[in-house]
Structure 1
């Protein structure tokens, strides 16, 4: 398959998986605390990834471990906790929308820190996408005045971390297999995650006879297997086959899926938000259109 077509297929699959992850986080929080959710997501995801890819650890060089550790912290560890806390106050669809700031941060950080060039068309596309995102945020705040938008800052902080992580993978881990990157990431963060989980006295609260707890555990397993483990490998591969900006543009299309789930779950959506979504799609097109 032509590389140009293949990267769009990866983008579509990631959009579906990650777009659905926000509603899964929301549902998991019914029976789990944010710390428990974040820690379990890392631990369960690590188990899946280690089963299928631990053998690739031998391919990782000593020099690459530093960047794998940083990538693991910025691309997975801190964001899973930040998103869990954010969704205790804001809708799942709003969290997804705010996450669309990632491509903007990817370009700015790539240019300022990693010296990765971006074209004027890419910058224009990201700006248009950002405008669409801003409209979605403003309308969301209007429709949900009871929500504490200070927690939205946690999602913005995550988007900055994602932007740094994408550039690290592109600049320092380009020659590492996608599965090896994922394995290396989780090797470095699974112990801290276990410590966080034990600090919440989770083992004393395990009760599968409790419906909320049992359903939350089901949601977190689905979220970990697909939204973290599988998606992590696919995303690492996408970064390597395309540009950092193209890979991070998955956060533009994710809100479409997240909004659909949000509407089905009773979250508000307006015509203006639909128009803003069109702007976001236009931004994706311009950011990735060939000269």
Structure 2
């Protein structure tokens, strides 16, 4: 794999940042008419249906199950469906019932910090350098500032603290999902995206029905928000995510989270009139500072 991600991947990364940054605002609007698990189920199902229709029209088809490589691809799709869709979407939707959309977006800045040690162990060429280790330490201090020490002392009654931890757990899920995506064997990217979302839908729909029952049709902004979530931050973003992770690697993909907090805070403050706590901005500075240090090229010593 080339050390340079290329212009196309940078453009896709910027688009992903804008899309994912706006998704937190859309979740807040969708929560006006649907439960958090139902939102996750609907957006994943819409995304899966959209990509299945596209690959059917293009006559691409899903990965085969009749050979060893095909079964490995489906196993990766299952992991992607769980770690990049079903679990994090549920955690974020539930978390946003107690925290602002901007806070949830800032939590996504933690994703690269989780990717660093995972990629060092699992992905060839993604070694933990000194800069990355120092960046990890600085960024982790930002994480502690972000969630507050009360989150660790919570006995279960402080749902805001639990919601903060849920948002951070979603960030860890995305990190694991990006590693799985990179390690998946070679396969058509649209086919892999459709398989991953289909697996996510199969997992989350029964859970949503069990937890929240059959939903009534949402109205107004809630309906528009969930349709947007299914078609753009889920279906379109899944395709872009797979393309970038496969061609440029999970560490480069994780840098999309430099943008996500900025966009999420911008949309939340501008369109939802959210008031954000002061420590959020201090945490953002620490996290982004750590991330930038971790991406800085290492200086070679002279012989």
TM-score, normalized by length of structure 2? 0.80
Residue pair 1:35, 1:196 contacting (<8 A) in 2 also: yes
| Alignment check: 8 A CA contact 2:63 2:195 kept | no
Contact 1:57 1:183 in 2 (8 A): no
- In structure 1, stretches of 5+ residues that fail to align are none
State the alpha-carbon separation in 1 of the partners of residues 109 and 137 from structure 2: 11
Shift in Å at residue 275 of structure 1? 5.9
Report the Cα offset of residue 273 of structure 1.
5.0
Find the counterpart in structure 1 of residue 22 from structure 2: 20
Following superposition, the deviation at residue 98 of structure 1 comes to 1.7
The 5 A counterparts of 1:1-291 are 3-54=5-56, 55-60=59-64, 61-112=70-121, 116-137=126-147, 148-173=160-185, 175-199=186-210, 200-202=212-214, 205-206=216-217, 213-264=219-270, 265-269=272-276, 274=281, 277-291=284-298
| 12-21 or 116-125, which deviates more | 116-125
CA–CA distance in structure 1, aligned partners of residues 83 and 200 of structure 2: 10
Distance in 2 separating the partners of 1:92 and 1:275: 17
**Structure 1 position 181, deviation (Å):** 1.9
Relative distance call for 1:126 and 1:10 in structure 2 (3 A) is farther
Closer, same or farther: CA 36–275 of 1 in aligned 2, 3 Å:
closer
Distance change >3 Å, CA 122–CA 242, structure 1 → 2: farther
Count of aligned pairs between the two proteins: 278
Residue aligned with 1:202, SS: coil
Q: CA, structure 1 residues 70+136, in 2 after alignment: closer, same or farther (shift >3 Å)?
A: closer
Task: State whether residues 95 and 104 of structure 2, in contact with CA within 8 Å, keep that contact through their aligned partners in structure 1.
Answer: yes
Can you give the 5+ residue segments of structure 2 that lack an aligned partner in the other structure? 65-69, 152-157, 299-303
CA distance in 2 between counterparts of 1:279 and 1:150 reads 22
Is the contact made by 1:41 and 1:224 (CA closer than 8 Å) also made in structure 2?
Answer: yes
- When residues 234 and 66 of structure 1 are mapped into structure 2, their CA distance, relative to the original with a 3 A threshold, is same
CA shift in 2, pair 1:165/1:9, >3 Å? same
Deviation at 1:114, TM superposition (A): 5.6
Tell me by how many angstroms 1:242 deviates: 1.7
Deviation at 1:225, TM superposition (A): 0.9
Let me know the Cα RMSD of the aligned residues. 2.7
**In proportion to residue count, which structure has more helix?**
1
Report the alpha carbon displacement of residue 120 of structure 1 after superposing the two structures with TM: 2.3
Which region of structure 1 is more displaced relative to structure 2, 12-21 or 97-106?
Answer: 97-106
Matches of 2:23 and 2:222 in 1, distance apart?
A: 13
**What is the distance in 2 between the residues matched to 1:107 and 1:266?**
34
1:95 and 1:197 map into 2 onto residues whose CA distance is 21
Aligned equivalents of 1:192, 1:167: Cα separation in 2: 20
